[in-house]
Structure 1
Amino acid sequence: MVPDPRAFLVSLFESAVDAADSLAAIRANLPARPRGRTVVIGAGKAASQMAAALESLWEGPLEGVVVDRHGPIATCRSIEILQSAHPVPDLAGIAASNRLFEAVKDLSEDDLVIALISGGGSSLLPAPAGTLSLDDEIAVNKALLASGAPISAMNVVRKQVSTIKGGRLARAAAPARVVSLIVSDVPGDNPALVASGPTVPDRSTPQDALNIIAEYRMDLPAQVLRHIEASTAPLPDDPAFAGNEVHVIASARVSLEAAAARARDFGIDAVILSDAIEGEARDIGRMHAAIAREVQSRNRPFAKPVVLLSGGETTVTIGGGSYGKGGRNSEFLLSFCLDIDGLDGIHALAADTDGIDGSENNAGAFADGGSAPRMRALGGDPRAYLAGHDAWSAFSLADDLFVPGPTGTNVNDFRAILIV
């Protein structure tokens, strides 16, 4: 029996994060030194940690620039670290994108570019294409975030309005060889979708982007739609990418397997439901709750005690209404706790592996059968909080927020449900 369910769940989260540790992942994928220069570029919520890890491992001269979000970052000696905004782009991101292009300018075939890419890079690297402005790119970003579209669909749209995404940064580095080391935060681990693939092209088209915009009823400025209709993006068989390498060095799958192994160290069986779950956060929360209730009451389809693990990236569709504070993991868990209301023996943690869920400083929250009753006892209405997309306020009221701080990695959502 687990003596402290919350401490147990936190230990699983920490094992998942440790499995995505930048130092170990980069060490296992370190490229050979080139005859010429070694230039480091990168962007994402793990960019500064990855840069510091690479710098500690690299033997020889190193230069370059990476972009992380505003807030605490790792420090480097020879790699410049810039900061910009997430999840809504800012002017600092424009300057950062320009610096990345400067870093790969005038390279030769003897030079090596190491690209350190992780989730969050899409917002950190605004680079409006054609006659579009930063305001246009912000409008696209806000529409995407409110649409409920999965991250894979969002990034198909983003690359069509950018001069840096969709492989364009790698193309600018040619004829230098580009080795991309990627920490994946997308279900399925398609490297071209992480941070909208600044160094990894794919075959999605402008029409694919327009279809996504129509499917999710996004209201975008007319000039954005006109630009997408006429846009082009490099394809994977472009000669500029010949000889480049792409390595996914950390992912949700590996992290969930590490959490499962940690659970078994405690003598608790672990089941990984999936590392690629997508869908509306509140719906996925209800689905997880239904499985937990079945295990708790009927000891099927898994025998208790057991911990259910899952990853991926859910979405929260805001629509045209008002909304409060929180993120997709908190919203998932608020929906989950309403469906286990009053039940004993079920304890859950849902958190973003980067340490920040949505708009506030929490990674996610804890929940059990007493969460909803505690909220009501303190004067809150958990269903009203859920309807108003205000999960942070609900869990703050119940003192159930999980605040580990930024982790320096990002392999997306982590969900652990203990049933005893």
Structure 2
Amino acid sequence: MPQYKQFPLADTAEGLTEADILNWHVKPGDEVKVNQIVVEIETAKAAVELPIPWAGVITELHVEPGQTVEVGTPILTIDTDPGGAPAEAPSPNGTAAAPAAAPAASAEEEMKPLVGYGSKTVTAKRRARKDAPAPVAAAPAEPVAAPAAPAAPVKGGYVPLAKPPVRKLAKDLGVDLHTLAADGRVITREDVQRAASGPAEPVATPSVSTVDAAGERRVPIKGVRKATAKAMVDSAFTAPHVTEFLTVDVTPMMELREKLKKSPAFAGIKLTPLAFAAKAVCLAAKRTPDVNASWDEENQEIVYKSYVHLGIAAATPRGLIVPKIRNAEQLSLPELAKALSELTDVARDGKTAPGDMINGSITITNVGVFGVDTGTPIITPGESAILAFGAIRDTPWVVDGEIKVRKVLQLALSFDHRVVDGQQGSQFLADVGMLLADPASAFIL
């Protein structure tokens, strides 16, 4: 007898509330195997491919590409016993039913760890709301013997974004987060407290993609673009930015690069100038740990880190992302060069895991790859400094009283003036410049 199960959208990253359906890799009638990739989704951090934990035949897809889906919502139905007698498959709208079947498996059996989900068990959980029925995914998926319960609707057409402590506060104060912000911004404690003490402001209706008579195309802001915009605004108007500039003759670095490229240690490794910059940042941060610290507003503390989780700003077809090289200070130059190459390839394909884009400590943005000399970069939220690495150009330069053509680049360091004083920022930038101008100076830092 057919056994129908509904596959819910799981939380693929800590605190994920929704995701956009990008592409289906299956269609109704397709036979699938355990852990086969069935759909590609886009979260606020990256594109992620989701495997299915059961084998069987796909009977129905419940969402269309481009649709935004709340975590826990069933996105497809699968018949795990297609050889059984015909029966009607369940649907999220609750209009279809299936004959009684064998007892359901436990939650751990139903949603066992999936390939690509990490090592922990994946479960789809959603916070209950007073005005909405419990979602299908809140209970273990099982063969249905009666009309399926409908998935909880997305109230107002959007999912409110808020951190777990803010959600708890809203629950304690009896505040419905849906009444606070429909524009995609993250709801704060102040928003909740304000709503608890007075009437909420009207909720704006989310925009819909349109093309007007003047030929202007409007695209909804979501996914990586939405997350990036929110983060940049928060950073620009929270951390007091200071930017300093330094022009550096990197001719010795470029000469050393040519020698090292022929070394057996770099066989098969793409050695770029950015690798030297990454090594210089790690070394200079040892002398000036303030640039590798973070400001904790809630606890009124500065957090100094014994590690360097180095962020590398990467432009992708889906927008700007900042994947991290964990414990970069422990890596040799060949290891850093290899890590950078791998990071770039994964980011370009849009396959960076959400967990690889959080908890950084300092960032490099390589504007030089676009032929740009320098800029005033915005600090990555949660960090205190970001270094812009400019284009390396043949430039007239005074050497021992004579003008010669040298390899020259410009560096720009933006830092949070709450954490980093001018002396500390200047010292760090000067150290990075010294290391790039004379790689042998690494021995004195």
Q: Same fold (TM over 0.5)?
A: no
The structure whose RCO (Cα within 8 Å, separation 6+) is larger is 1
TM-score (normalised: structure 1)? 0.26
More helix by share: 1
TM-score (normalised: structure 2)? 0.25
More strand by share: 2
